[in-house]
Amino acid sequence: MISRFPVVDISPTTYFGGEFIAAKAIPHEAITIAGTVFREGHESFEVFALLFDSKGSQIQRNPMRLIWPGTDRYEGIVTPTELGAYTFAIEVTDDKNISSISERFPIRAEDPRALIGAWYEFFPRSEGATKGSDGKIISGTFKTAQPSLQRVADMGFDILYLPPIHPIGTSFRKGKNNSTTALPGEPGVPWGIGSPAGGHDAINPELGTLKDFQEFVKAAKKLKIEVALDLALQCSPDHPWAKEHEEWFTKRADGTIAYAENPPKKYQDIYPLNFDNDYEGLLAEVLRIIEFWIGEGVRAFRVDNPHTKPLHFWQECIAAMNAKHPDVIFLAEAFTRPAMMHGLGKAGFQQSYSYFTWRVTKQELTDYGHEVAKSTSGFFRPNFWVNTPDILPFHLQSGNPAIFALRAVLASTMSPSWGMYAGYELFEHVPLKADGEEYLDSEKYEIKVRDWAGAAKSGKSLAPFIAQLNQIRRAHPALQRLRNLEFHQTDSDQIIAYSKREGSDLILVVVNLDPTRSQQTTVHWNLYFLGLPDELFQGEDLLTGKKLSWSKDTFITLDPTGSAGAVAHIVHLSTQ
């Protein structure tokens, strides 16, 4: 039935799987509630956003404002204060005797790391690895990788993601640059999980022991770094599951287990799982594995190729884990179609890899920024990765340090979560082939021996700049939010400008998207978005420490041929 005051087009609401799913939030994150409200005649009315706790008690009643005359569109704010389930509604009154309340819609406040994080990825076998005079490479271990935690901490990263740390199969093991024939001594692909030494709940003996891993996690936590593990639900032909649970796999007509394919690529060293033969058995085993690693201190999981598994499996799996462990988060590694990526977020994934990696031009970045901050933020949290072991974007293949710097600025300031794979700070950029986005000598297939100290000593490292970016992020709440991203007009397609505000903390960012030459433009700041009453304002460039005096229309020059910090302005304005 239509209520006394119709309230329609309410957001954030998402209907999925036969129900309204909870809008994503974290404690103390301001959530904008919006709705179209109207009535007969010309009488005025007041509109309020209501927030209810998990017991149904009203805990907030905040006024909503008409955002533009004639639109009937109202907006207001509610703010969950702690972890847990909430609902919201919109109330309309004219006087004490006439009022309406909309139906209630769910919000769930999750652990802050569900929204905010600086992720770094390295392969433990490469950290501390050495190369002998005979050319033979000796693998790194958890013990040799442990000192590298300080390097990660010094750059300001708070989540360290490790590719699979489990035993690697030998059957059909891949060699250097994805060769189908591994030479003696080649380490194999970590995602080819399983050998006689064990499966998903075992440690690769070449990395050490479970105790070594425990010590590694303990050392990371002392540095305030969370260790995230890869959850790759697949296995090598040597995995114990392949012998003990043949029903968990798809078989060909000849009775053999089918290996993974992603045409034109073939993965003979990997068996995908089939969730249709013994769903309950597989679910129970996956929950057992996750629970095992949670018991070892792991509170974050990067899930490999989740889009190749049923969505309802993830919905059930993540809900079960978060019911027991609300501080555990799951990151979906799914570079796939939008519907599936969004579906994974709706199914429960706290974060997802995103299309940022391929958004390069001002228009692409603006459109995508609007999408993730406004259109999909109720159910999809993006993590902006600048590179991955699988992806060397074309724009990085020049090796120009300026492109590495400006992409890091964009990723770390546009999104509250961003990620970087080891080697980015050393400007690694050589592709396998000219028309592809894969690394030559990819670390997926071999052990990398890098000279971190030498690069730092010679100044051929972006690490100090990365540390500066992460320090700025930690210091400014505005950069720890997603929905507050607003873009501002510039007269050049080579310069992008945007702002973020959280309370009195206001950050303005201007980036030169051209890594090869100086660019100039006038930025036309939208004072409404900034919440500033005056056309003149002063701030501090957090990259250089310089005081700046800007106006509503500000002429800016950015020359990327100087230091890394010359690619952008990150300006703090205090509005207290």
Q: Collapsing DSSP states into helix, strand and coil, what is residue 397?
A: coil
Asked if residue 90 lies in contact with residue 64, where contact means CB atoms within 8 angstroms, the answer is: yes
User: Closest Cα to residue 144, out of 165, 172, 125, 169?
Assistant: 125
Q: Collapsing DSSP states into helix, strand and coil, what is residue 426?
A: helix
Tokens 């006038």, residue? 522
Cross-strand pairs, 162: 229
Catalytic residue from among 127, 230, 333, 446: 333
Cα(562)–Cα(342) distance, integer angstroms = 40
| DSSP β-ladder status, 568-574 and 505-512 | antiparallel
Cα(443)–Cα(437) distance, integer angstroms = 14
Catalytic residue from among 110, 304, 428, 446: 304
User: Closest Cα to residue 107, out of 21, 49, 46?
Assistant: 21
Q: Residue 2 has which token pair? A: 């239509």
493 is catalytic: no
Asked if residue 103 lies in contact with residue 92, where contact means CB atoms within 8 angstroms, the answer is: no
Cα(200)–Cα(290) distance, integer angstroms = 9
The Cα-based distances of 561 to 345, 514, 542, 565 in angstroms read 40, 10, 19, 10
Cα(528)–Cα(173) distance, integer angstroms = 59
Q: Estimate to the nearest angstrom the gap between the alpha carbon of 146 and the chain centroid.
A: 24
304 is catalytic: yes
Q: Which of the residues are catalytic?
A: 304, 333
